[in-house]
Homo-oligomer: A and B are copies of this chain.
């Protein structure tokens, strides 16, 4: 089925940024570019389906349909359903980690830093597809040790370490009173994680103002801010 789309060909012409262009416009693009597009479409579709149904209940057929490719095409990119799932998590998480790792230079107060961080998290994770991915990992982790390992190694342990660094800095600067907090950076991120899960599960029962909640939580840790 000719699904050409030049997306990345001559990036000079028509900004190649809107990746979900409805396709079909440009007959030029080459094979490799197409393959990449297809792969991206598969990844996108698979993520969508896995999030919506979980690993076991997701049908490759549906992924293929959603990605606009034939079933067999999936197997040109992934060995089987399991490794597709495992690779998927990597593929989606790596760039997120990369972006977060490229932290802004630590200027200003620790609280400001953490607030910036939380703001980012709020915008990029809570209530987004990325947040659903976190829930998916929580859901499937026990059956996919490789995924849990990867997630722990790349995200959790790094995140914990970074938070611990910030907490210690906060303590050193006198912004944070409670010294024990450095032993459990989990406490710092717990409400954010809960917000992620809440949005996935209970948003429709009781919407949660995650931003406000995180502010309250930071007040708890740093002391209430004197309203400027």
Contacts and interface: CB of A to CB of B under 8 A. Distances in A.
B54 A181 contact: no
B220 A181 contact: yes
B217 A184 contact: yes
Stoichiometry, as copies per complex, reads 4
Instruction: Summarize A's interface: helix, strand, loop or mixed.
Output: helix
Interface of A: 2, 5, 7, 52-57, 135, 137-143, 148-149, 151-153, 156-157, 178, 180-181, 183-184, 186-187, 189-191, 193-195, 197-198, 200-202, 205-206, 208, 212-213, 216-217, 219-221, 224
B186 A191 contact: yes
A194 B201 contact: no
Contacts of A208: 186
17 contacts: A2-B7, A53-B143, A55-B57, A135-B139, A138-B138, A141-B200, A142-B200, A148-B201, A153-B205, A157-B205, A178-B216, A178-B219, A181-B220, A184-B216, A187-B217, A190-B194, A193-B194
